[in-house]
A and B are shown apart, each in its own frame.
Chain A
Amino acid sequence: MASISVPMPGVQPAPRPKLAEYLRWSVDHKIIGVQYMATAFFFFIIGGALAMLVRWELLTPALDASGTGSAYNSLFTMHATIMIFMWIIPMFAGFGNYIVPLQLGAKDMAFPWLNAFAFWLLPPAGVLFLLGYFVGPAETGWTAYPPLSVLFSGDGQTLWAISIHIAGVSSILGAINFIVTIKNMRPEGMGWFQMPLFAWAVLATAIIQILATPFLAGGLTLLILDRVAGTAFFDPSRGGDVLVWQNVFWFYSHPAVYLMVVPGMGILSEVLSIHSRKPVFGYKMVALSSIALALIGFTVWAHHMFTSLTPQLRVPFMITSFIIAVPTGIKIFSWIATLWGGKIRFTAAMLFSIGFLSQFVIGGITGMMLGAIPVDIHLHDTYFVVSHFHFVLFGGSVFAIYAGIYHWWPKITGRMMNEFWGRVHFAITYVAFFFTFFPMHLAGMQGMPRRVAEYAPEFQTLNVIISISAFVLGISTFIILANMIWAIYRGKVAGPNPWRALTLEWQTSSPPPAYNFKGTPIPFDDPYGYGTEAANAYLAAMEELMTPAAQLKSGRSAGPASASPEPVAGD
């Protein structure tokens, strides 16, 4: 009968996933990956709803919908914290968990138990944070600058700190697991520079998590002590120093910005190459630029503090902030060159990747503007900043997440998502996104400060445009959610390799069986080596396997293992 992990000859329907498997403790990286994604998506909806409330308040210049300024403060604080710590970071952890061991041809992560443990820290952290809302919510924004966060915010601020602490531990443990897995679990024949770029990106992310997150943990510990034990590390009236917090926080949080986008860049490299059937242009540079981002990311933190820093220190940080644009630029140009002359398929995954390319560049350029001292001093704490980081985090990270979902959902569920609705989703999201966040540039440049519930009446036109687009953007999320669920029950059977990719995760059936592969899969010399003899032979075999005739032939019983395509590694 069927052996457990022969790459499926012919296209067979995958069994429906059992919900119960995903609700209990499991050490299977595939289940943990989906658990991460489902948890993250749950918080994405909550965080999105909070953003809708923020936009509802900002429809009019007066303070009305949220009642009090404090209530409004807690809205955007919760929105930001949830989106960063409960959505983007765990969502990428979910992709990493599901995809990285498969891309390495491994049976599982290096430490399956640790992996499960790291995940199960996350839901309690999220619940704790939400409970904080009911005991006097945090009102300081996600940056939690003291003395506001020490002296004035409610007990929810303490719970906020504790829950981020827990999420941080989860992320450090996960990162240790990723680095060990990527270093030690690669199959024979896959050197560092034969590794898929998503794995490179996850490696870079994990380095950031291990080196940066403890910094935040140290800061949070002191913040909690200040709040509950009567210390005054950050209270200047009693000998503390608020700037210490700003330094500690941004020394974590600027690298964390890269932690939130580098995995997305990894997804982009995969999708752009595979959906245009072209090798990645400058593979080595793309791989190393991820590591460069991770390392240079530690040298730029004080550009968030141009208005509070000693003036002499501004220039060095402006210079490093400009330098960090270089690795990003390398990636952007490499992606464009990858697309150039390729056979581009405008699948939903591809569309979102191109969407990322265009919007992230805008976010990157405004980032450079903010990195320039004179511009920053003018624009500090205005809506220009809000616009900038939403272009990077939504136009960048979230678009990449969407691309990743359209790309890998067939692998995860064994069924295709609906491409038509995928394109509709893209069109609505892209346009609504642009009209939500682009006008914020204008409002910011005209002087509208961020984090306010009341604003000058002349900004109302812009804000109404922003709010209405935001509502559309919010609703568009449900299109992809419905599409994902629809795919599980009604989607076309995907087969092992619907996108004709060469990376290892597509060499096993969809969804992969327990322990992923039978034997050790053989990686290609170049994971994106389209056009090589080996790749052509492999894809031709794949093509034959995926035809309806093969489907008929294979019938119920699985064919012999020799029917599976064996890539010829190397020449």
Chain B
Amino acid sequence: MSEITVHESKAPVIHDPQEEARRNDNHKFAMWLYLASEVILFAVFIGGYALFRLNEPEAVHNAHDGLGIGLVSINTFMLLTSSWCMVMGLREIQRDNVRGMLRWLGATAALGTLFVGLQWVEYRELSHLGITLDIASSVEAYGGFGMRFYAPTFFHGVHVVIGVIWCLLVMRRGARGEFSSKRYTGVETFGLYWHFVDVVWIILFTLIYLI
């Protein structure tokens, strides 16, 4: 019936600009849908913590006294800055400045890595205080704070790590000259993800550390 063999492993090369515009739109739209499902996923953790906060204010107060806010403030500031770097990186590629984009995205990845590093430092301090994931080894005064603290923040940290890896991949594509002022959906899509991770952290920070 068909004379043409189709190599399925290779997507058809697309030259039609309209087709490409649609594909770009597809990618961004798909990213928004993915983020919608991520919102729900984090909602479970955030909701779980919020319930705990309402039911056991005593344990949270004790934990807050131990937690301190200095380290995490620096961390939050860094993550916000990384989001700003992301915006600048996108702006550079829209002006066709690949090197500028690489520089800003490099800063994004570096700040993201620092964030995860500092979070690890904080985890160590907390575990010395006796706030642990395993409820059996957690100090009584903190109640179930440990698990409800570590689960969402660790889950968020994993998202940051994935984001950093993704950022490096975007940079590699950029260095190969795959992006330009006419073609930057790859950067934009990653940007959506990174800003999302940032927004989640703002919610977690407010809920866990400030309230």
- List chain A positions with a Cβ less than 8 A from chain B: 1-4, 8, 12, 14-15, 25-28, 31, 110-114, 172, 175-177, 179-180, 183-184, 210-215, 217-219, 221-222, 225, 229-233, 238-241, 244, 248, 509, 513-515
Contact = CB atoms under 8 A, between A and B. Distances in A.
B2 A514 contact: yes
With most chain A CB atoms within 10 A of its CB, the pick from B43, B133, B135 is B135
Contact of A514 (B6, B36, B43): B6
Please provide the 8 A-B residue pairs with the shortest distance between their CB atoms, ordered closest to farther: A218-B44, A230-B134, A231-B147, A214-B41, A214-B40, A239-B144, A514-B6, A214-B37
B9 A25 contact: yes
B144 to A, nearest CB: 4
A231 B135 CA distance: 5
Interface string B1-23: 11110101101000000000010
B33 A509 contact: no
Interface residues of B, number: 39
B29 interface: yes
A213 B37 contact: yes
A211 B40 contact: yes
A222 B133 contact: no
B144 A232 contact: yes
A92 to B, nearest CB: 19
A387 B75 CA distance: 55
Contacts, number: 120
A230 B36 CA distance: 30
Given A233-B48, A238-B135, A176 B6 contact: no
Given A15-B1, A217-B41, A225-B147, A210 B33 contact: yes
Contacts of A175: 33
B42 to A, nearest CB: 8
A179 B33 contact: yes
Nearest to A238: B135
Contacts of A232: 135, 144, 147
A111 B147 CA distance: 38
Query: Which secondary structure dominates chain B's binding surface?
Result: helix
Contacts of B11: 27, 112-113
A172 B34 CA distance: 8
A514 B10 CA distance: 13
Contacts of B211: none
B210 interface: no
Interface string B87-106: 00000000000000000000
A4 B144 contact: no
Contact of B3 (A2, A15, A25, A172): A2
Interface string B36-64: 11111111110010010000100000000
B8 A180 contact: no
21 contacts: A27-B8, A27-B11, A111-B26, A113-B11, A114-B30, A176-B33, A176-B34, A179-B33, A180-B33, A214-B44, A218-B42, A218-B43, A219-B44, A221-B44, A230-B135, A233-B48, A233-B148, A233-B151, A248-B44, A513-B2, A514-B6
Interface of B: 1-4, 6, 8-9, 11, 22, 25-26, 29-30, 33-34, 36-45, 48, 51, 56, 133-137, 143-144, 147-148, 151, 155
A78 B92 CA distance: 54
B11 to A, nearest CB: 7
Given A221-B44, A230-B136, A231-B133, 8 more contacts: A15-B1, A112-B11, A229-B134, A229-B147, A232-B147, A233-B147, A514-B4, A514-B6
A222 B3 contact: no
B86 to A, nearest CB: 22
A180 B26 contact: yes
A12 B1 contact: yes
Contacts of A25: 9
Given A27-B11, A213-B37, A238-B135, A180 B1 contact: no
A113 B43 CA distance: 29
Nearest to A212: B40
Contacts of B143: 239
Contacts of A2: 1-3
A4 B4 contact: yes
B37 A172 contact: yes
B151 A231 contact: yes
A229 B39 CA distance: 24
Nearest to B38: A214
Contacts of B43: 215, 218
Contacts of A31: 8
Contacts of A509: 1
Contacts of B147: 225, 229, 231-233
B135 to A, nearest CB: 5
